[in-house]
């Protein structure tokens, strides 16, 4: 499992799961449900085996490296335990979801050696998705991302390059787009409409298995640091590391001054501009209050005792830039850019003339001047805005997530479902698709829908429609609505600023 790569058996189980999931659209026969049970059992067995191997690896490290080289091994061991804790937390969270889903469908049936509600097609979308996208699947997606990022951070804390090329199986990625079909996010693809409880359970067990595989890869990567050679430094050089070379007028300037490959038990003698600098554990900290704009320089000397002669002296020099206080607040609407609408950005570079500031963008286009710019993007993914100054010097860059505008909600008579008066229904001329709680003024136009009117003890009247205006036939039928009538709008399509058709949920309104 080193490096996070899956075994051929694990890859085979993943492919078989996807095949079975595709067959659900055709039927949910017992043989298919049995296949999901077989995959679940194999994933559970794999998870148990990997967890046992990880525990054994940790135990061996504890009994050998940690005892022999405790001072060096302890931080490494602690990070490995943190990785295990992260995976365990996610595993427990998923286990709680599985229990809730099982309890809601009758638990485990010993007679069939499977879940009682394994063919249930309602529990997964109801519990994991829900109409307001607040189902457990969305929180699970976030926890998967958070766990993955924290595992990678444990590796990167010692050397960010260690994460390059590292493949962790723990991830929640939406399926690729299929021509002619609406996009599905990871949540709906694995837990949405048409997914039986058996398939949802298999996916949850796969998440647990992936978490343990990721834990195993990260633990081995971390513990492997112990076997890397320890570099012995025998060269000396004075080093000045300022906390910042650019500070605001009136703020203190602080810098760390130390001798590389230094002895923490022998403090060197440091002077800067003729004044002594306080040292502790081999490191001196130089602090001075900044006054006056512009570039400030300082010089000094670092003196260290030598075991074979007189003290050795190393020259010190450094500089820092002082500027007047200023404030930069950006981006205007979080770190997200939306397709189809102009995205306002405020950009400034304190200390650099506005005429020298150049702004460019990858993954989209940007226009504007001064401090106010507008970004336009076309494809989902990421976009980067780069700010440069004189001679092309890069001053900074910001990466943004690029998203599609959320789907609007369909409404009629001021309702997206529920109950309203028959008189209110009869008085309507239009249908609407509106965004709720969205920062941009993005308009959606309804292009297609089907109206169904069901009066008490009468056959349903079905009328197809296009555009947002009710047809004469629809007016005639809706004009006869009485209390007890049910009005249904389905097969709804709307198009927004990005030109992408959105397929909206049906609504049901009851007249009173």
Q: Which of 26-35, 142-151, 314-323, 382-391 has the lowest mean pLDDT?
A: 26-35
Based on the domain organization, do 160 and 20 belong to the same domain? Answer: yes
8 Å CB contact between 249 and 290: yes
Q: Are residues 416 and 479 in the same domain?
A: yes
Q: What is the pLDDT of residue 134?
A: 82
Residue 258 has pLDDT above 70, yes or no: no
Least confident interval from 210-224, 247-261, 367-381: 247-261
Q: End of a domain among 163, 196, 227?
A: 227
- Mean pLDDT lowest for which of 326-335, 349-358, 415-424, 435-444? 326-335
**Cβ-Cβ contacts under 8 Å for 219 (sequence gap 6 or more):** 54, 57, 58, 80, 83, 84
d(CA 508, CA 410): 11
In this structure, are 244 and 160 located in the same domain? Answer: no
Give tens-digit pLDDT for 109-165.
Answer: 999 899 999 999 999 999 999 877 788 999 999 999 999 999 999 999 988 888 888
Residues 206 and 286 in one domain: no
Residues 209 and 115 in one domain: yes
Q: Angle of helix 30-63 relative to helix 197-223, nearest 10 degrees?
A: 20
φ, ψ of residue 486 to 5 degrees: the values are: -110, 130
Buried b vs exposed e over 182-217: b needs ≥16 C-beta within 10 Å? Answer: eeebbbbbbbbeebbbbbbbbbbbbbbbbbbbbbbb
Residue 233 within any structural domain of the chain: no
Q: Which of 1-5, 100-104, 161-165, 200-204 has the lowest mean pLDDT?
A: 1-5
Q: What does the alpha-carbon distance between residue 70 and residue 59 come to, in Å, rounded to a whole number? A: 14
Is residue 107 assigned to a domain? yes
Whether residues 471 and 377 share a domain: the answer is no
Residues 65 and 212 grouped into a single domain = yes
Residue 222 sits in the same domain as residue 365: no
* Statement to judge: residues 441 and 494 lie in one domain: yes
Give pLDDT, residue 231.
33
Has residue 1 got a pLDDT over 60?
no
Q: What is the pLDDT, as a whole number, of residue 293? A: 67
pLDDT at position 250 over 70: no
Question: pTM score, two decimals?
Answer: 0.43
Q: Give a yes or no: residue 232 inside a domain.
A: no
Low-confidence winner among 21-25, 90-94, 221-225, 413-417 (lowest mean pLDDT)? 21-25
Is residue 266 domain-shared with residue 303, that is, in the same domain?
A: yes
Total number of domains in the chain: 4
Is 442 within 8 Å of 496 (Cβ atoms)?
yes
Spell out the SS3 assignment of 323-343: ECCCCCCCCEEEEEEECCCCE
pLDDT at 230: 41
Q: Which residues contact 154 (CB under 8 A, 6 or more apart)?
A: 79, 82, 83, 218, 222
* Per-residue pLDDT tens digits for 442-464: 999 999 999 999 999 999 999 99
Q: What is the mean pLDDT of the chain?
A: 85
Contacts of 331 by beta carbon, 8 Å cutoff, 6+ apart: 345, 346, 398, 400
> Are the beta carbons of 355 and 393 closer than 8 angstroms?
no
Region of residue 363 (left: phi > 0; alpha: psi -120 to 50; beta: else): left
- Cβ atoms < 10 Å from Cβ of 426: 15
The answer on 79 and 182 residing in a single domain is yes
Q: What is the DSSP letter of 146?
A: H
Classify residue 311: in a domain, yes or no: yes
- Token pair recorded at residue 280: 């502790």
The DSSP output letter for 133 is S
Q: Is residue 14 part of a domain?
A: yes
Angle between helices 8-23 and 30-63 (to 10 degrees): 150
Cβ-in-10-Å burial (0-12, 13-18, 19+) of 481 comes to: buried
Q: Averaging pLDDT over each range in 36-45, 147-156, 295-304, which range is the top one? A: 147-156
Predicted local distance difference test score (pLDDT) of residue 470: 95
Share of the chain above pLDDT 90, in %: 57
295-304, 357-366, 449-458: segment of lowest average pLDDT = 295-304
Q: Which of 298, 306, 261 is nearest to 283 (CA)?
A: 261
pLDDT at 156: 92
How confident is the model over 64-78, as pLDDT tens digits?
988 887 888 899 999
227, 284, 222, 285: which is closest to 253 by C-alpha?
285
Mean pLDDT of 341-347: 91
Query: For the sheet containing 343-346, what is the strand order?
Result: 343-346, 372-377, 364-369
Which residue, 403, 419, 454, sits at the end of a domain? 403
Asked if residue 277 is part of any domain, the answer here is yes
Q: Determine contact, residues 29/190, Cβ cutoff 8 Å.
A: no
Residue 276 has pLDDT above 70, yes or no: yes
Q: What is the pLDDT of residue 472?
A: 94
The single residue listed with the structure tokens 């075994």 is 7
Which of 403, 431, 465 is at the close of a domain? 403
pLDDT at 17: 54
389 lies in the same domain as 420: no
- Of the pLDDT bands very low, low, confident and very high (cuts 50, 70, 90), residue 239 is confident
Checking if the pLDDT of 381 tops 60, the result is: yes
pLDDT-wise least confident of 258-272, 285-299, 345-359, 426-440: 258-272
Q: Domain containing 59: what range?
A: 2-227
Q: Which of 49-58, 76-85, 189-198, 263-272 has the lowest mean pLDDT?
A: 263-272
Is a pLDDT exceeding 70 seen at residue 307?
no
Q: pLDDT at residue 208 above 80?
A: yes
Residues of the chain with pLDDT > 70: what percent? 85
pLDDT, position 14: 60
Q: For residue 62, what are the CA distances in angstroms to 151, 155, 445?
A: 20, 19, 64
pLDDT for the residue 220: 93
Average pLDDT of the segment spanning 275-294? 83
């Amino acid at each position: 499992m080193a490096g996070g790569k899956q075994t051929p058996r694990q890859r085979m189980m993943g492919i078989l799961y996807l095949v079975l999931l595709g067959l659900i659209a055709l039927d949910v026969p017992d043989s298919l449900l049995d296949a999901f049970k077989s995959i679940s059992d194999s994933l559970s067995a794999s998870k148990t085996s990997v967890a046992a191997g990880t525990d054994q690896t940790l135990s061996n490290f504890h009994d050998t490296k940690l005892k022999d080289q405790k001072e060096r091994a302890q931080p490494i061991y602690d990070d490995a335990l943190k990785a295990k804790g992260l995976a365990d937390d996610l595993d427990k969270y998923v286990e709680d979801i599985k229990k809730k889903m099982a309890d809601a469908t009758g638990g485990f049936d010993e007679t069939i050696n499977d879940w009682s509600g394994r063919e249930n097609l309602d529990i997964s979308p109801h519990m994991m998705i829900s109409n307001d996208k607040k189902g457990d699947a969305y929180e699970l997606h976030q926890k998967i991302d958070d766990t993955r990022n924290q595992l990678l951070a444990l590796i990167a804390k010692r050397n960010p390059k260690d994460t390059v090329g590292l493949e962790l199986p723990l991830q929640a990625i939406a399926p690729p787009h299929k021509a002619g079909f609406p996009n599905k996010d990871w949540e709906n693809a694995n837990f949405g409409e048409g997914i039986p409880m058996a398939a949802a359970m298999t996916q949850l067990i796969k998440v647990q298995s992936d978490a343990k595989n990721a834990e195993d890869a990260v633990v081995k990567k971390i513990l492997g640091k112990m076997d890397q050679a320890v570099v012995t430094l025998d060269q000396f050089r004075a080093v000045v590391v300022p906390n910042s070379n650019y500070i605001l007028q009136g703020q203190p300037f602080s810098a760390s001054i130390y001798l590389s490959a230094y002895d923490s038990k022998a403090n060197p003698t440091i002077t800067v501009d003729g004044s002594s600098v306080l040292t502790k554990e081999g490191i001196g900290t130089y602090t001075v209050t900044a006054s006056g704009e512009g570039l400030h320089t300082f010089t000094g000397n670092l003196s260290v005792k030598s075991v074979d002669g007189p003290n050795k002296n190393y020259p010190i020099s450094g500089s820092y830039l002082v500027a007047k206080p200023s404030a930069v607040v950006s981006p205007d609407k979080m770190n997200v850019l939306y397709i189809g609408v102009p995205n306002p950005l405020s950009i400034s570079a304190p200390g650099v003339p506005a005429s020298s500031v150049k702004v460019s963008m990858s993954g989209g286009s940007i226009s504007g001047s001064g401090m106010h710019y507008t970004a336009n993007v076309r494809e989902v993914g990421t976009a980067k805005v780069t700010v440069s100054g004189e001679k092309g010097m890069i001053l900074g860059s910001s990466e943004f997530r690029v998203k599609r505008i959320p789907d609007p909600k369909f409404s009629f008579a001021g309702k997206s479902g529920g109950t309203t008066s028959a008189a209110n229904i009869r008085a309507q001329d239009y249908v609407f698709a509106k965004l709720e709680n969205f920062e941009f003024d993005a308009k959606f136009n309804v292009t297609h829908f089907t109206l169904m009117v069901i009066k008490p003890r009468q056959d349903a009247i079905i009328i197809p429609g296009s555009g947002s205006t009710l047809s004469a036939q629809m007016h005639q039928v809706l004009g006869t609505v009485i209390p007890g009538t049910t009005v249904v709008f389905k097969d709804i399509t709307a198009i927004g600023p990005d030109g992408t058709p959105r397929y909206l949920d049906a609504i049901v309104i009851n007249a009173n």
